[in-house]
Amino acid sequence: MGGPGLEVAKFTFYVFMPIGFMVYFGGPGFYERYVADDVFQFNPPPKQRIPTETGEIRRTLDDLRAAREQRRRMRERVMREMAAEDGGPGSKQ
């Protein structure tokens, strides 16, 4: 059909085409040119500063614990209201 020259050309194409794609699309130049700006446009860096001092860390932890406790109390209140609307546990309608 095509002969050994065509087979060598196809083999070369099949081996080096994926390598070429990886080199071109995986290189830092492609990333800087096409990807880097879009990453920050769709996923901006966080605006919250991470605490580094011991006092700041303790205050942040206390705030997180208070928020978690508030969410837990809110969840319990909603569950009690839902149970009261249903007539309590074990009631049949």
The predicted-structure confidence for 63-73, as pLDDT tens digits, reads as follows 999 999 999 99
The predicted-structure confidence for 31-57, as pLDDT tens digits, reads as follows 888 877 776 677 677 788 888 899 999
The most distant pair of C-alpha atoms in the chain lies apart, rounded to whole Å, by 84
Burial of 53 (0-12, 13-18, 19+ CB in 10 A): exposed
Q: Where along the chain do its domains lie?
A: 1-45, 47-93
pTM (2 d.p.): 0.43
* DSSP code, position 92: -
Cα–Cα distance for residue pair 86/21, rounded to 1 Å: 62
Per cent of the chain over pLDDT 90 is: 56
pLDDT band at 88 (very low <50, low <70, confident <90, very high): low
**SS3 of residue 27 by DSSP:** coil
